[in-house]
Amino acid sequence: MVPYIGMRTLMSKIVPHHELGQSNSVFGLSESFMPFIFGPLYTTIYKFTIEVLPGAYFLVTAFMKSIGICLFLCLYFETRKNKAVKTSRFTSDGIRQSDTVI
């Protein structure tokens, strides 16, 4: 899986400060439910594909990791976009521009 620490760091930069607790609780819940979901899923996939394709659970793992990587990249680009908007609100001499970004 994509490291949750990196995802939490990026999420903390995107989410408003008053919602950090909620986002961290969602990450905590997802981390704690993963063994209950993926343990039986992998067991079932392996049991049904042992005769045909014993490595099918590797394909499922690759698919799940690609979803995680896509989410990580979305968070990364959203963080970069938010950072660019924040820095563009000030002029070169430190005077704040209007809040409307074009």
Question: pTM of the prediction?
Answer: 0.57
Q: Could you tell me if residue 96 is inside a domain? A: no
Query: What pLDDT was estimated at residue 12?
Result: 80
Q: Is 10 exposed, middle or buried (0-12, 13-18, 19+ CB in 10 A)?
A: buried
Query: What pLDDT was estimated at residue 79?
Result: 78
Query: What pLDDT was estimated at residue 36?
Result: 92
Q: Could you tell me if residue 91 is inside a domain? A: no
Mean pLDDT by 10 residues, the chain (102 residues): 69 82 86 88 92 90 89 83 67 55 48
Q: Could you tell me if residue 51 is inside a domain? A: yes
Closest CA to 68 of 55, 19, 60, 29: 60
Whether 74 and 80 have beta carbons less than 8 Å apart is answered as no
Q: Could you tell me if residue 97 is inside a domain? A: no
Query: What pLDDT was estimated at residue 74?
Result: 86
Q: How many domains does the chain have?
A: 1
Query: What pLDDT was estimated at residue 2?
Result: 52
The whole-angstrom separation of Cα 67 and Cα 53 is: 22
Q: Could you tell me if residue 102 is inside a domain? A: no
**Residue 15 belongs to what domain range?**
4-84
